[in-house]
Amino acid sequence: MILCTHCETLWPAGSEYCGSCGASLGKRICANGHEVDLDAKFCTKCGTGKLTRGVEAVEYRPLVLLFVVISAAVLILVFQSQLLNLLSALGAFAVKAVCHFLGILVICSLGGKEAVKAWLGLCSAILRLCWAVIAWLVKSLI
């Protein structure tokens, strides 16, 4: 899956253009079909200034995403009492920072630059999911 960072729409892997906003994903393309970098003002092969609107695209690796989500769920279930103690001792900000840092370490070791971009893009959603599970656990324990 590829995420268009302009309109936040997901497209199948291999898509060259966003079907929602029309931007070329991860590159700019000149009128003659040459691909150039996103920051290029002119085509490096033919010199034309007629380039498509390119936007950064984030490629999600499904196995990395699945691993992160399953790992987060398992860690929450295994360490639920420690997480509750940690939540009360350190506060929500410290827990968010620790989760973010650990996630980046895991993703860097598994997937490289694209995976790190994907993690940073999804970090807030994953943390919201974690907090929802923790809030549910706290409510069910009280």
pLDDT value at residue 73: 76
51: DSSP letter: B
Predicted model pTM: 0.42
In DSSP terms, 25 is beta-bridged to 55
How far apart CA 60 and CA 111 sit, in angstroms, is 10
Give the model's pLDDT for residue 56. Answer: 83
Looking at residue 81, its pLDDT comes to 76
Give the pLDDT confidence of 94-137 residue by residue, as tens digits: 666 777 677 666 666 666 666 666 666 666 677 777 777 777 77
Q: What is the rounded average pLDDT for all residues in the chain?
A: 77
The C-alpha atoms of residue 113 and residue 108 are separated, in whole angstroms, by 7
Highest mean pLDDT among 46-55, 68-77, 123-132: 46-55
